[in-house]
């Protein structure tokens, strides 16, 4: 786009930027509305979409009320882009219908992430893969996004060989039901359980279902998505994902073995200069990233940067990010921003 000197087609495009948010009443859908408003995405008409039981209810966006509609109504209204956060089943069923109508879908579920015909995008890393023909674009898993944002600039310089990651993930990653369970337990209230076990004063080393190899789906998402986003199948990744009783965001302990040697000062400089990263790393004053500091922020925070003293060319980092924002809603909106700026929608 041309700043203040927009061409006539560009002006018309901005005058007709209808945006659908599918799953608008969920935790991530609500955050998508918030992020669209905060980042001043040029929405001319919002089309909030939710399940049939929510149709007719209203959501607020930029001080205006918008009625929730069903899927087919949303398609008939012909938005330019649809941000999906309504689960894999809904995405599998409806994303192709939106795409067939010429609507660009940015999907937050796991439905399309490993489909070889679909792009899996973190804008700081691989948005340049996108074309106008990409009508279903996958938003990666939240824990993968924050790790690869920190990994990508270092991989470019030193080439990653092997990654060992352990996650400490917020209950907000499960949804409203899990947040309610945590707060009920904290207040001594009996209620519906999102998890098999109590989460308050506890740690649950299982996120999603177990697979035949003993890993969970969440763990294998991190393995497979990292390779796809980084465009490098040679990177070896092993993951343990854990749910903890916090709300502000996900944390990760990441150990990276590189092919090339590095200097710590250079690592910190590369991270500090990379887009979307804030380095918080001063052991002398006990400065390091925490979920409470990342909450409601879009950046990925990196600290505890130090050598692994057990083997050469290996680095330890602590990575924290708000999983509802950069891990989901913000990344999706940033993809839409890139598509708009590149005239792909």
Q: In angstroms, how far is CA 168 from the centroid of its own chain? A: 16
Tally: H helices and E strands in the chain: 11, 14
Q: Tokens 């177990």: give the residue.
A: 210
Kindly state whether residue 3 falls inside one of the protein's structural domains.
no
Co-location of 174 and 162 in the same domain: yes
Kindly state whether residue 1 falls inside one of the protein's structural domains.
no
16 has pLDDT over 80: no
Kindly state whether residue 166 falls inside one of the protein's structural domains.
yes
Beta bridge partners of 278: 301
* Local confidence band at 10 (pLDDT 50, 70, 90 cut-offs): low
Main-chain dihedrals φ then ψ at residue 82, nearest 5 degrees: -130, 120
Co-location of 160 and 308 in the same domain: yes
Q: What is the pLDDT of residues 199-231, one digit of tens each?
A: 999 999 999 999 999 999 999 999 999 999 999
Co-location of 105 and 193 in the same domain: no
Is 17 in contact with 80 (CB distance < 8 Å)?
yes
Whole-number percent of the chain with pLDDT over 90 = 94
> What average pLDDT does this structure show over 125-153?
98
Kindly state whether residue 294 falls inside one of the protein's structural domains.
yes
CA neighbor of 291 nearest in space, from 167, 157, 137, 108: 167
189 has pLDDT over 50: yes
Tell me, what's the pLDDT at 9?
54
Co-location of 37 and 170 in the same domain: no
Co-location of 132 and 147 in the same domain: no
Whole-number percent of the chain with pLDDT over 70 = 96
Tell me, what's the pLDDT at 1?
34
pTM: 0.93
Across the chain, mean pLDDT equals: 95
Instruction: Please provide the distance, in angstroms rounded to a whole number, between the alpha carbons at the two ends of the chain.
Output: 12
The CA distance from 122 to 230, in Å, is: 9
Co-location of 119 and 153 in the same domain: no
- Count the domains in the chain: 2
Kindly state whether residue 206 falls inside one of the protein's structural domains.
yes
Co-location of 281 and 155 in the same domain: yes
SS (H, E, C) 179-247: HHHHHHHHCCCCCCCCCCCCCCCCCECCCCCECCCCCEHHHHHHHHHHHHHHCCCCCEEEEEEEECCCC
10 by Cβ neighbours in 10 Å (0-12 / 13-18 / 19+) ranks as: middle
Co-location of 52 and 190 in the same domain: no
Q: What is the CATH number of the domain that holds 75?
A: 3.40.50.720
Boundaries of domain holding 19:
8-140+328-341
Q: What is the CATH number of the domain that holds 286?
A: 3.30.360.10
Co-location of 113 and 171 in the same domain: no
> What average pLDDT does this structure show over 264-273?
98
Catalytic residue numbers read 142, 250
Q: What is the pLDDT of residues 251-260, one digit of tens each?
A: 999 999 999 9
Kindly state whether residue 72 falls inside one of the protein's structural domains.
yes
> What average pLDDT does this structure show over 23-29?
95
Is 328 in contact with 307 (CB distance < 8 Å)?
no
Q: What is the pLDDT of residues 150-187, one digit of tens each?
A: 999 999 999 999 999 999 999 999 999 999 999 999 99
Kindly state whether residue 2 falls inside one of the protein's structural domains.
no
Question: HSE on the CB side for 63, CA within 13 Å?
Answer: 0
Long-range contacts of 219-222 (CB under 8 A, 24+ apart): 221/110, 221/113, 221/141, 221/143, 221/144, 222/141, 222/143, 222/144, 222/147, 222/165, 222/167
Is 328 in contact with 142 (CB distance < 8 Å)?
yes
* Local confidence band at 2 (pLDDT 50, 70, 90 cut-offs): very low
Co-location of 96 and 221 in the same domain: no
236 has pLDDT over 50: yes
> What average pLDDT does this structure show over 338-344?
96
Co-location of 150 and 205 in the same domain: yes
Co-location of 126 and 221 in the same domain: no
Kindly state whether residue 168 falls inside one of the protein's structural domains.
yes
């Amino acid at each position: 786009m041309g700043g203040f000197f927009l061409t006539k087609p560009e002006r018309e495009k901005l005058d007709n930027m209808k945006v659908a948010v599918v799953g608008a009443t969920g935790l991530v859908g609500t955050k998508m509305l918030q992020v669209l408003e905060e980042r001043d995405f040029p929405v001319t008409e919002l089309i909030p979409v939710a399940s049939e039981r929510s149709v007719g209810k209203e959501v607020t966006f930029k001080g205006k009320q918008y009625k929730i509609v069903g899927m087919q109504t949303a398609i008939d209204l012909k938005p330019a882009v649809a941000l999906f956060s309504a689960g894999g089943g809904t995405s599998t069923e409806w994303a192709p219908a939106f795409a067939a109508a010429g609507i660009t879908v940015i999907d937050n579920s796991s439905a399309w992430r490993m489909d070889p015909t679909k792009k899996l995008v973190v804008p700081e890393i691989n948005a340049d893969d996108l074309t106008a023909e990409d009508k279903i674009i996958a938003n990666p898993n939240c824990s993968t996004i924050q790790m690869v944002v920190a990994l990508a600039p270092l991989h470019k310089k030193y080439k990653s060989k092997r990654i060992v990651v352990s996650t400490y993930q917020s209950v907000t990653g499960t949804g409203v039901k899990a947040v309610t369970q945590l707060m009920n337990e904290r207040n001594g209230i009996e209620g519906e359980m999102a998890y098999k076990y109590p989460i308050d004063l506890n740690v649950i080393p299982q996120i999603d279902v177990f697979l035949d190899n003993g890993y969970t789906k969440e763990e294998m998402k991190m393995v497979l998505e990292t390779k796809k986003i980084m465009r490098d199948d040679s990177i070896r990744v092993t993951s343990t994902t854990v749910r903890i009783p916090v709300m502000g965001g996900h944390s990760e302990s990441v150990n990276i073995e590189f092919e090339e040697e590095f200097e710590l000062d250079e690592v910190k400089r590369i991270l500090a200069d990379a887009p979307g990263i804030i380095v918080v790393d001063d052991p002398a004053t006990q400065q390091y990233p925490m979920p409470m500091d990342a909450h409601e922020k879009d950046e990925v925070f990196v600290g505890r940067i130090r050598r692994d003293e057990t083997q050469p060319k290996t680095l330890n980092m602590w990575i924290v990010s708000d999983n509802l924002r950069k891990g989901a809603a913000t990344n999706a909106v940033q993809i839409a921003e890139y598509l708009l700026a590149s005239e792909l929608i």
